[in-house]
């Protein structure tokens, strides 16, 4: 399985400070800003963000509304996928993680009663995971271009129209085991800060952004991480 490990991820403290979960109280903001900067420095010094990803180009043998069959026999029942990726010659299941070390650091903070730091670490970890996913999208698009293929946007199991139980298939096809990602019995990935998605590849594919995915996500109203179409910034 191809592995992506050439990440060079960076986060600006303002990206965290503008999250709805962090709040915008002017009295606490300087303290928050200082803490976020300290945490980002600590993460870098201790190398606690360890991103890796793996993926596979799997040929499509049949696609009909609501169902796609792949060359090695896997069948996805996913109306959203067949609608958005109609015409794909390959599906590219992808799994990406930022590693176990950050999970351990968050648990350690909670155990020591450093809840504010733990919450900020959690938000920072989520931002790193988003960025790692975006890096994978670009890397896979470049590989596809070398094969004279275009790539679509991403779709993740759990989005309306692509049931969550498809995730097991995505992990298997992408070679998640190969980089140490497993699914627990409760359906949570280990390491926790991991994500999976599918990209379509073909001679003519439509691209869409994560912000467009957020527009149709059932969780968007409450989700603090949703992307807005007008800007990269999180919505207040």
As measured in angstroms, the least distance from the Cβ of 134 to ligand SF4 is: 12
Give the one residue of 36, 132, 141, 214 binding ligand SF4; rule: CB under 6 A: 214
Q: Closer CB to ligand SF4, residue 164 or residue 178?
A: 164
Give the one residue of 217, 229, 233, 235 binding ligand SF4; rule: CB under 6 A: 217
Bridge partners of 189, per DSSP, are 183
104 sits near ligand SF4 (criterion: CB under 6 A): no
162 sits near ligand SF4 (criterion: CB under 6 A): no
Stretch in the footprint of ligand SF4 (CB under 6 A) among 10-18, 60-68, 110-118, 211-219 = 211-219
Tell me how far the alpha carbon of residue 167 is from its chain's centroid. Answer: 13
20 sits near ligand SF4 (criterion: CB under 6 A): no
Ordered alpha helix ranges (H), 147-209:
167-174
Distance CA 126, CA 7 (A): 15
Phi–psi pair at 209, nearest 5 degrees: -95, 170
219 sits near ligand SF4 (criterion: CB under 6 A): yes
As measured in angstroms, the least distance from the Cβ of 208 to ligand SF4 is: 12
Stretch in the footprint of ligand SF4 (CB under 6 A) among 111-119, 137-145, 190-198, 213-221 = 213-221
Helix crossing, 115-146 with 101-111: angle to 10°?
Answer: 170
117 sits near ligand SF4 (criterion: CB under 6 A): no
**DSSP for residue 224:** T
Distance CA 194, CA 142 (A): 22
Which of these, 155, 177, 160, lies nearest to 168 by C-alpha position?
A: 177
Stretch in the footprint of ligand SF4 (CB under 6 A) among 37-45, 133-141, 162-170, 222-230 = 222-230
Which of these, 57, 10, 14, 18, lies nearest to 198 by C-alpha position?
A: 57
Which of these, 157, 27, 39, 135, lies nearest to 91 by C-alpha position?
A: 157
Which of these, 189, 170, 169, lies nearest to 180 by C-alpha position?
A: 189
Stretch in the footprint of ligand SF4 (CB under 6 A) among 44-52, 98-106, 187-195, 214-222 = 214-222
Q: Closer CB to ligand SF4, residue 174 or residue 213?
A: 213
Record the tokens describing residue 27, joined without a space: 């009295």
Q: Closer CB to ligand SF4, residue 90 or residue 234?
A: 234
The residues that touch ligand SF4, with contacts defined as CB under 6 A, are: 213-214, 217, 219-220, 223, 225-226
């Amino acid at each position: 399985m191809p592995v992506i490990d050439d990440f060079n991820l960076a986060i600006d403290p303002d990206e965290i400070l503008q999250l709805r979960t962090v709040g915008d109280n002017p009295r606490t903001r300087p303290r928050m800003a200082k803490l976020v900067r300290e945490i980002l420095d600590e993460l870098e010094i201790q190398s606690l963000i360890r991103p890796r990803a793996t993926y596979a180009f799997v040929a499509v043998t049949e696609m009909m509304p609501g169902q796609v069959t792949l060359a090695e026999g896997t069948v996805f029942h996913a109306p959203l996928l067949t609608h958005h990726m109609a015409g794909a010659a390959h599906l590219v299941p992808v799994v990406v993680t930022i590693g176990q070390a950050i999970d351990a650091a968050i648990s350690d903070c909670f155990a020591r009663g450093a809840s504010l730091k733990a919450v900020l670490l959690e938000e920072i970890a989520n931002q790193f995971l988003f960025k790692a996913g975006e890096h994978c999208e670009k890397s896979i698009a470049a590989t596809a271009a070398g094969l004279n293929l275009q790539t679509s946007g991403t779709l993740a199991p759990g989005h309306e129209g692509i049931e969550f139980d498809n995730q097991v298939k995505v992990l298997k096809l992408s070679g998640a085991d190969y980089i140490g990602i497993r699914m627990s019995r409760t359906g949570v990935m280990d390491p926790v800060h991991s994500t999976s998605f599918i990209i379509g590849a073909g001679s003519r594919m439509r691209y869409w952004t994560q912000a467009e995915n957020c527009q149709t996500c059932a969780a968007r109203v409450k989700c603090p991480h949703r992307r807005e179409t007008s800007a990269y910034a999180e919505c207040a």
